[in-house]
Structure 1
């Protein structure tokens, strides 16, 4: 039996639209669950010079994050996504104050370089180095450097 009442036709149309929307949402959730949880992408390890950090902080204070990303890309050669991630970490205060980052000598590991800096009396520089190359928080980097044998 077909209903010719306008109110009943409207109710049926609303129900059909709701079912279609819910089906689309369900399919989207199912597809997303099959890809698994999205792990956070780690920051590309890079030492950030004090001048660049200061410039980025100034641009962020002026509410100019796009310019900050542009300047980071120009200064570091990072890809857009990595430069944006670096600016975000600077905004959040997760990068260290720049220290005297020692260049790697041959196949010397990060632990060896950090240990050498710490043993030379530059604990804060060693912590900054570990933070810059790993993206660790200051507290985690400090624990790492302190625990080095």
Structure 2
């Protein structure tokens, strides 16, 4: 066997091992949807991020969003990219145990463009998981 043939066999073996390891971990990763509902961001955060974008500092803008929201890198980048296109909604005021039932208040937040706030309200007041709270908010008419 020549050195070139050995090298080709080595690459083939590495490829097969990578494929088997990927299947053992549960197959391929699920694709993240490319479109998310806009997350409500306070006006002061939006202004700081826009100022950083105006100074051509997108990495610092993403860092600012991550620190302020606790989001991961990919989600923070999506928010910064969304801010380039236009303003995002501001969070509606949250009053635990406020007027009306949780469904009415969650519906109000959702309709005002604060889907994360609506989900958070439902989670806080009912103890639902995030997934259940999202389904609850989505089912509100």
Please indicate the TM-score interval, normalised by the length of the shorter structure.
0.5 to 0.7
Q: TM-score w.r.t. structure 2 length? A: 0.57
Give the match for residue 89 of structure 1: 78
Q: Distance in 2 between matches of 1:103 and 1:41?
A: 32
Q: In terms of Rg, which structure is larger?
A: 1
Unaligned runs of 5+ in 1: 1-8, 135-142
| 2:53 aligned residue (50, 60, 79) | 60
After TM superposition, the runs of 4+ consecutive aligned structure 1 residues lying more than 4 A away are 40-43, 131-134
Written as runs of structure 1 = structure 2, the 5 A alignment for 1:110-121 is: 111-115=103-107, 117=108
Q: Deviations over 1:10-32 (max 9, x none)?
A: xx110110110111011012101
Q: What root-mean-square deviation, in Å, do the aligned CA atoms of Structure 1 and Structure 2 show?
A: 3.8
Give the match for residue 115 of structure 2: 130
How many aligned positions are there? 114
Structure 1 86/51 Cα, relative in aligned 2: closer, same or farther at 3 Å? farther
1:26 matched to 2:26? The reply is no
Unaligned runs of 5+ in 2: 120-136
Structure 1 100/52 Cα, relative in aligned 2: closer, same or farther at 3 Å? same
8 Å CA contact 2:52, 2:60 repeated in 1 = yes
Q: Deviations over 1:50-100 (max 9, x none)?
A: 221232234235442321233234434x2xxx2523421213429942142
Q: TM-score w.r.t. structure 1 length? A: 0.55
